[in-house]
Every structure is written in C-alpha cells, then in structure tokens.
Amino acid sequence: MNETGGPERVYVVLDSFKTVTDRFNLDIEIESLGGNVLVPTCVEALDQGPAAPGSYHGSIAGFYDYLEPSCAGSPTGAEGITQILLQPGEELDASVETTTGDPTLYLLSNCAIADSCFLANDMGTGSTEDIVYVNNTASSQYLYLVVDADTNLDDYILDIVIK
C-alpha cells in the first residue's frame, strides 16, 4: 500500500531458479482505497448515512468503547461503526483486516442498542475477519456494521461488497 501521500514507484520482479523460457501471465491490480468509513458513535453513523460499497483504509485509534454486545463475545475495546443499506434480496459481504489486534465484526439493527446485535463473526484469532448477511425480508434494511475487539485497534482496511 502506498501510504506516502504522493505517487510512489515500485518494481515488480519475476524471478526463478531456472531460466524462464515459457510465456507467463502477470496480473496486476491497482485499487484506490477510500478513507475513514467507520465513525465512533451511533449518532455519527446516522449522520453519515449508508456506506457506498468499496474498500476503505482508516483508523479507529482514539475511538471509544460504547458497545459490548454479548452476541459478539462482549468486546471491551473501542469500536467503529458504519451504516449499511440493503435492499430486499441483497447480500452484504464485509471483511476487515487490521494492523494490530484480533477484530470482531458484527451487525446491529439499532446502533444505539448493543443487544440489537443479530450476527457476529469472530472466527479468526488473527487480524482478519469477515461476515456475510442476506436481506431475506421484503423491505429494505438499515444495518450497522461494527468493527470491535477486546483491545483497541488502530489501522484497518474494510471491504464492503453489496450484491
């Protein structure tokens, strides 16, 4: 990831132990990351409105521990929240990667009420986690996606896919 704030030149090298004579295919993807999509409080998540699908790089350093839903194992670290809007039949695929800690991802139906947590995933003990949810109801749903942990997290990359 280019974190310099300006353009950065890097070199991709194809190397091997033998002389490569065959054809090869090299796939290179360059993706622009959005900024902070997670906010510290329910009120700010409501103000911000639904997150657009995409990949975001931000930080939740300095956020607070307001939410400790039991459905997510009562995570005692600070959390970041973003609103998600799902139309009927749409699927949310969210995944998070953090530079430190052991994140938990969960969904709230009401961002002011921790016990409105209805789906959580804390399968991994490392720095990545993902969650999948399908709106099988007949109406659109406003949900709140939360990145939380037992200890305070810092930088994150959050991918939000809605299909």
Name the site residues for Ca ion (rule: CB under 5 A). 65, 67, 75, 79, 102, 122, 124, 129, 148
Considering beta carbons, is residue 44 or 65 the nearer one to Ca ion? 65
CB of 113 to Ca ion, least distance (A): 14
Contact 130, 120 (CB under 8 A): no
CB of 101 to Ca ion, least distance (A): 8
Residue 144 burial (CB count, 10 A): 22
Contact 75, 66 (CB under 8 A): no
Considering beta carbons, is residue 87 or 151 the nearer one to Ca ion? 151
Considering beta carbons, is residue 86 or 108 the nearer one to Ca ion? 108
Distance CA 138, CA 78 (A): 34
Contact 36, 61 (CB under 8 A): no
Considering beta carbons, is residue 102 or 162 the nearer one to Ca ion? 102
Chain-centroid distance of CA 26 in Å reads: 28
